[in-house]
């Protein structure tokens, strides 16, 4: 199985457009409990990639055969929801692997979708917290830090 970095690099090199995003949610039979995003399936033009939260809080790249199934799981098309709706139809331009510096395992990825470096990107992080995938939007703006005074 490929590492997240290897899988993302392959997608960058192939320049496939993102076509669909599906979330896999765990839903308790207890209506008082929240649903938990356990996996995200990214469907590109010719390639599918499943990013899966593991019980040890790491992020794994898995094949479609590892898609969680069962009565407690719900699939949801996220393609038309923020932030994914802006990434649909764009290739993966850049990506980063996020490593937990205390424990040394991969717990997330950052993906930047754009047609080229001159286009405004859509930057999305998937980070595992307590065996749940959290989705973060990274703002495209850089902040210029002015020199104020020498210390």
- CATH number, position 92: 2.30.310
Q: In the chain, how many domains are there?
A: 1
Domain presence at residue 146 = no
Confirm whether pTM is higher than 0.85: yes
Give the structural domain span for 76: 4-138
Residue 35: is its pLDDT beyond 80?
Answer: yes
Question: In this model, does residue 22 exceed pLDDT 90?
Answer: yes
Confidence (pLDDT) at 1: 62
Residues 6+ apart with CB under 8 A from 6: 61
Residue 76 lies in a domain: yes
Residue 151 lies inside a defined structural domain of this protein: no
25 contacts 36 by C-beta, under 8 angstroms = yes
Closest to 24 measured CA to CA, from 100, 98, 96, 126: 126
User: pLDDT tens for residues 99-141?
Assistant: 887 877 888 999 999 999 999 999 999 999 888 999 999 987 7
Q: State the average pLDDT over residues 88-104.
A: 90
Q: Is 15 domain-assigned?
A: yes
């Amino acid at each position: 199985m490929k590492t997240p970095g290897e899988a993302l690099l392959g997608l960058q090199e192939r320049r496939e457009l993102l076509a669909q995003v599906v979330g896999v949610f765990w839903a308790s039979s207890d209506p008082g409990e929240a649903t938990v995003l356990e996996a995200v399936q990214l469907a590109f033009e010719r390639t599918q990639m499943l990013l899966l939260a593991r019980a040890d809080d790491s992020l794994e790249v898995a094949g479609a055969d590892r898609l969680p199934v069962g009565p407690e799981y719900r699939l949801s098309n996220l393609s038309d929801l923020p932030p994914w709706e802006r990434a649909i139809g764009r290739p993966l331009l850049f990506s980063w692997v996020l490593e937990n510096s205390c424990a040394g395992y991969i717990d997330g990825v950052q993906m930047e979708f754009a047609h080229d470096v001159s286009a405004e990107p859509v930057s999305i992080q998937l980070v595992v917290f307590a065996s749940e995938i959290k989705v973060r939007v990274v703002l495209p703006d850089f902040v210029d830090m002015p020199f104020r005074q020498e210390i």
